[in-house]
Structure 1
Amino acid sequence: MIRRQLANKRYIASTRKLVKLLSFVIAIFVIMVAPAYAATCEEIA
């Protein structure tokens, strides 16, 4: 039972790390793409 709880905690910790990493990557992607996207929209309009 204790072993299962430890494994569960480890799993939750790893998923949290993954989510943090994913959100970080998405934030960088948005910061890089947003200005270019806005520029293309202005050119089209």
Structure 2
Amino acid sequence: MKGKHGRSFCYLVCINILDGFITYWGIQYGWIEEANPLMRAVFKWIHLFS
């Protein structure tokens, strides 16, 4: 991607990935709680298999 839109898209992707990691670690270590009921259920379901 070229130009302004390509850089904006890359920035958005990087911020989204960083947010995902921070949220995952925050939930794993009990620093934060998932507010979205659907994602909370998915996160608890995933922990049943680990």
TM-score, structure 1 length as denominator? 0.61
Which residues of structure 2 form unaligned runs of 5+? 32-50
**Corresponding residue for 2:16?**
16
Distance in 2, Cα, partners of 1:6 & 1:18 = 18
| Alignment gaps of 5+ in structure 1 | 32-45
What RMSD over aligned residues (CA atoms) do the two structures have, in Å? Answer: 1.7
Number of residue pairs the alignment of both structures matches: 30
- Aligned position for 1:4: 4
1:25 is displaced (CA, Å) by 0.5
Structure 1 CA distance for aligned equivalents of residues 15 and 30 of structure 2:
22
Higher relative contact order (CA 8 A, sep 6+): 2
How many Å apart are 1:20 and its aligned residue? Answer: 0.2
